[in-house]
């Protein structure tokens, strides 16, 4: 239920690495790896993908053996805090309508479903349901004394 195609070749991975480098060159953040604190094992990834200087998309993807252990919630909370520190006005995420666990994580972290989109989800079979919910979190400006 990812919004991008699985890597099927080394060239696919190189393209993703180029995309990541470009994000970090252009914006104050980009893709991050999620590692286990206990042993440094790679668990997945998260990050911010900027649409404008004050609006970014976030998300997370985890290895199957890392599901259900709180890593998605922790990663999303870290991206929300980073977005606040960077002064973003809006943070959003897309989630497949049937991905109940991710919907719970997004809602637990304060994002609210705003709209339904037709999203291709390239890894799903052609006859699979493809709607995505757009979840958003608006940041309010704090008054300066």
Q: Binning pLDDT at 50, 70 and 90, where does residue 143 land?
A: very low
- The pTM score is 0.88
- As given in the structure block, the two tokens for residue 51 are 């649409």
Q: Binning pLDDT at 50, 70 and 90, where does residue 142 land?
A: low
Express each pLDDT in 61-81 by its tens digit. 999 999 999 999 999 999 999
Percent of the chain with pLDDT over 70: 88
CATH of 10-138, one of 1.10.10.60, 3.40.630.30, 3.40.1160.10, 3.40.50.300: 3.40.630.30
Q: Share the mean pLDDT of the chain.
A: 89
Q: What is the mean pLDDT of residues 75-90?
A: 97
Domains of the chain, residue spans: 10-138
More confident call, 100 vs 119 = 100
Tally Cβ neighbours within 10 Å of residue 131: 13
């Amino acid at each position: 239920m990812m919004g991008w195609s699985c890597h099927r070749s080394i060239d696919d991975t190189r393209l993703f690495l180029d995309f990541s480098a470009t994000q970090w060159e252009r914006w104050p953040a980009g893709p991050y790896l999620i590692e286990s604190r206990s042993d440094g094992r790679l668990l997945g990834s998260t990050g911010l993908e900027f649409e404008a200087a004050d609006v970014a998309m976030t998300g997370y993807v985890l290895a199957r053996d890392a599901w259900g252990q709180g890593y998605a919630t922790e990663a999303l909370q870290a991206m929300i805090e980073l977005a606040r520190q960077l002064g973003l006005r809006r943070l959003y995420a897309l989630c497949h309508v049937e991905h109940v666990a991710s919907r719970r994580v997004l809602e637990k972290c304060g994002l609210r479903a705003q709209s339904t989109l037709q999203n291709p989800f390239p890894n799903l079979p052609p006859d699979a349901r493809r709607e995505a919910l757009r979840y958003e979190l608006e940041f309010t400006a704090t008054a300066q004394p």
